[in-house]
Every structure is written in C-alpha cells, then in structure tokens.
Chains A and B, each alone.
Chain A
Amino acid sequence: MTKAKKLCAALLLAGTLAGCATSGGNPADPLEPFNRAMFSFNDAADVAVIKPVAKAYRAVVPGILRTGVSNFFSNLDDVWISVNDVLQGKFQQGLEDFGRVLFNSTWGIAGIFDAASDVGMQKHNEDFGQTLGSWGFGSGAYLVLPILGPSTIRDGFGLLLDTRADLVFQIDGVPVHNSLYATRAISNRANLLDASSVIDSAALDKYSFVRDAWLQRRRNLVYDGDPPREKEEPDDEPAK
C-alpha cells in the first residue's frame, strides 16, 4: 500500500509541477499540463521497465508461441466486444463476434489459434467507451492515464466498465490474475515494438503527435471506420 501511496504522491507532484508549464491551447486538451506530466511518467516507465521486458519476451519466446498468447487474450476480449455490439444495436455483428468466441474456444483450442479469422469471421474493435460514443456522448477532455496511456474522460469511464467486465478480472486468485495481467501487458507491448519506434522517428513533439493520432483514431472507431468529414480548417484565412 505504501508503494501505491508513494506513486500517487509522485503523480500529484508531477501534475502540480506541470501546472506551471504553458498550455498548448488545443481545445480538446484543457488538461495538457497534467497530461504532459503523466505522458513523461509513462514514457519513463516504458523505457525503464516495460519496453525492455517486452524486448526480452520477443527475443526469447518463439513467434508462433507469441501469436498464441496474443490470440488467447484476444479471444477473451471478443466476449465483451460482442456485448458492446449488442449495446450499440449491432445485433448481427454481435452474433458474429460471439460466434468467433465459440469457434476459437473450441476449434482454436481455448483461443490459442484464431481459427475464426482463417474462415473469414472478421474481428471487430469495440469497447464501452465506443458504446458511450455511439449513444451520443462526446469524448470530453483528452486524458492521459497512468501506465494505461492515452484516453479521454468518456473513454476513461468506459475503461472502468471494460476492466470490471474483463474475463481476466473474474478469475479468482490474485497471483493468477496478476500474472495474466502482466503477460497480457507484455504481449501487447511486444506487438508494438516496431510501431513505437516509428512514432519516435515521426514525431517532432511525441506528446501532441500521440494525442492527435489517438483522438482521430477513437473518433474513427466510434463511427466504425466511416466518420463524417470534419470541416477542414481553411488555410487561406489570414492568421489571427
């Protein structure tokens, strides 16, 4: 518990210090000073712990096994995905996603193989934040969560429910589910090693690059890949 307290204290301190920094003025990001501090904290944790472990995992565990681990967790996710389909009124997609779970849990041997994709049952991307979005809730302010990374006020609430509904969370026994959490986190991070090195080389300012990419991505997901065109900022207007 003291560890957790120390962490909280550190985060609060970081937030306060960042409060003195100038804000960038993006209307979607009123909490920018706090977010920037949290972002640096996450980045430091990534560089110090998470990324090295993910690299070791990728170096030691053979690819076929890593895919199996990744598929296993992806199959568990499909259960909650199909619930969200239904909550959004996408009944057919809900049936498909639930079908994926049945198929992969049996033919795919407890989800280790993604047999459903091989026969053309496509995976979808849903979560409760998107469900709230489809019900008409705006995303609210951008919010960087400790360790979990980019989110928004709405998606943060969504995540609370996602976490409760997470099948790994339902498993009894703290050591078991903690090690499952850790495995999943490492597996996810390992899948992203190439991507994160691209971000490093693409971004002038990593914070705003990740933020703007994230907000566009979430908007795209809420509209299932077909968002209405945003009004383009006219470039022929004189500057203020």
Chain B
Amino acid sequence: MMNLPSSLPVTMKIPFCALLALLIPLAQAEALAPDVLVKSITEEVVAILKRDKDIQSGDTKKVADLIDTKIVPHFDFIRMTRIAMGRNWRLASPDQQKNLAGEFKTLLVRTYSTALSNFRDQQIDYKPLRAKPEDTEVTVKSDVKQSGSSQPVSIDYEMEKTPDGWKVYDVKVGGVSLVTTYRDTFASEVRDRGVDGLIKSLVEKNRQPERPKAGKT
C-alpha cells in the first residue's frame, strides 16, 4: 500500500529541475545561435551559483536578482502568458494583458528562485540542434543529470527569433511545459471570476510569504 509508483517521483522532481529551466541570460549574446546562447548563459549563471556563498546559504533575494538581470531578458513573457491564457487572451484588455504577464513573470521568478538556491553539481549535456538556418522557431534540447539520481531529466527550450535575438517562450522539463501546465488553472479562474479575478489570484499568490507550506511540519 505504501509503495509509490516509480514514475511519481520523477514527475514531482520536475519543478526542482525547472530551476535550470530559467538559466538563460547574457545581454550581449543577441546575435548568437539559439543553442550557443542557451549554453553560454547557463554556464555563466551556473558559475555564479557555484561561487556565491550567499546563494548557497539560501539567499533567495540574491537569486531573484540574478534571474532578473541574467535570465529574464531572454524570455518572452508576453508570449508565455498568451499561451497559458489560450483563447481567453483575447478577453483581456491591453492593460489586463500587461498586468497578467507581469504577475505571471513574478510568480515564475519567485518560484524558481527558491529552487535555484538548491543548485548543486548538476551536469548538463546539450543535444545537437536540429534546425535549418532559416528557421525562426527552434527547440534547444538538453539533459541534466542530478547528483544522486542516475536518470537525467530533459530540459527543452522552445525559442523564437525576434529582432532582439532569440527568446525563450516555453521550457519543458521532463516533457512538462512550465507554461501550458497553467492553462487549465487560468481557464477555470477566468471562467469563474473573470480576467480581473485571475489577476487578483496571481497578485495574492505573489504576495504570500516565501514557501508558505514549508514551516508547517
């Protein structure tokens, strides 16, 4: 009765690995090929994580700053929010759309700051990029091996070419999309409480103290 299905742990491990998902920054890299971009940014952030003693002792504020400066500029949060909203995106006014994208960004950054401070000796392998030079949408695939776990977790970055260089619009960790996983939640919030209700829920969630349930036990 007590044994968990072997697949359950992997699923729950996903958010933890999602920390790596947001490892994508570097401002001067705009003209780089997408896979080179992901790799160089990841390496830079990992290097900082490894030498920063404050982060290692759990300073999530500092991790959030790191994410903001190095990683966030390489994400297209408008497109991410649009995907998470699905057809409801059109119900939102331009102001609401801006608010939604802002709050969704805050939620993702907050969530993964906590995870990122746990980063240890993960090893990352990149798979060869399968794309034609003229492609404007590509998937950069990588495998992350965590210490103490023999099975690598895949992290795939869905990227699009924009005038500002390649931007990430979805990250799939072990096949689970960080963005579409929110789709049903968003849809039912909008259905029950409208777009403003969803914005309100996001604001409330973001206002909660860090790791609300951690102190419970």
Q: Which residues of A are found within 8 Å of B182, using beta-carbon distances? A: 204, 209, 212
> Residues of B contacting A150 with CB < 8 Å?
8, 11
Min CB distance B101 to A, Å, is: 13
- How many residues on the B side are at the interface (Cβ–Cβ under 8 A)? 65
B88, CB-defined interface residue at 8 Å: yes
Stretch at the interface among B13-21, B28-36, B40-48, B160-168: B13-21
The distance in angstroms between the C-alpha atoms of A151 and B4, with both chains bound, is 11
Q: Which of A191-225 contact B (CB under 8 A)?
A: 191-192, 194-205, 208-209, 211-214, 216-221, 225
Check: B105 CB closer than 8 A to any chain A CB: no
Q: Which residues of B contact A217 (CB under 8 A)?
A: 7, 10-11, 14, 174-176
Quick check: which of A13-21, A33-41, A85-93, A158-166 contacts chain B, the rest being far away? A158-166
Contact, CB under 8 Å: B87 / A192: no
Taken residue by residue from 10 to 50, chain A's Cβ proximity to chain B (1 for < 8 Å, 0 otherwise) reads as: 00000000000000111000000000000000000001000
Can you name the residue of chain B whose Cβ is closest to the Cβ of A29?
Answer: B184
Interface flag for B39 (CB, 8 Å): no
- Provide the residues of chain A in CB contact with B19, threshold 8 Å: 198
Q: Knowing A127-B7, A219-B175, A239-B88 are in contact, say whether A195-B211 is a contact too (CB < 8 A).
A: no
Name which residue of chain A comes closest to B81, CB basis.
A235
CB contact between B8 and one of A149, A178, A225 (< 8 Å): that residue: A149
Taking CB as reference atom, which chain A residue is nearest B146? A191
B73 at the interface (CB under 8 A from A): no
Given contacts A198-B114, A220-B175, A220-B176, contact A204 B185 (CB under 8 A): yes
In this assembly, does A134 line the interface, its C-beta being within 8 Å of a C-beta of chain B?
no
B151 in contact with A122 (CB, 8 Å): yes
Question: A55-B217, A163-B3, A216-B177 are known contacts. Are A201 and B210 too (CB-CB below 8 A)?
Answer: yes
- Judged by a CB distance under 8 angstroms, whether B57 is at the interface is no
* Other-chain residue from A77, A114, A122, A221 in contact with B175 (beta carbon distance below 8 A): A221
Choose one: B7, B149, B191, B213; the contact of A197 (CB below 8 Å): B213
Q: B154 near A236 (CB under 8 angstroms)? A: no
B-side contacts of A198, CB under 8 Å: 15-16, 18-19, 111-112, 114-115
Which of B176, B201, B217 lies in contact with A213, CB distance below 8 A? B176
State whether the Cβ of A117 lies closer than 8 Å to any Cβ in chain B.
yes
Give the nearest-CB partner of B91 in chain A: A239
- What is B's interface to A at a CB cutoff of 8 Å? 1-16, 18-19, 82-83, 85-91, 107-108, 110-112, 114-115, 118, 148-152, 154, 172, 174-177, 180-185, 188-189, 191, 201-202, 205, 210-214, 216-217
Q: Which residues of A contact B (CB under 8 A)?
A: 24-26, 47, 51-52, 55, 63, 66-67, 70-71, 74, 77, 114, 116-117, 122-125, 127, 129, 147-151, 155, 159, 162-163, 166, 168, 178, 181-182, 184-185, 188-189, 191-192, 194-205, 208-209, 211-214, 216-221, 225, 227, 232-240
A–B pairs, 20, beta carbons within 8 Å = A25-B191, A26-B184, A125-B6, A150-B8, A163-B3, A194-B16, A198-B18, A201-B114, A202-B15, A204-B182, A212-B185, A213-B176, A214-B11, A216-B181, A225-B154, A227-B175, A233-B86, A235-B89, A237-B90, A239-B91
Name the 3 nearest CB pairs between A and B, nearest first.
Answer: A220-B175, A198-B15, A117-B150
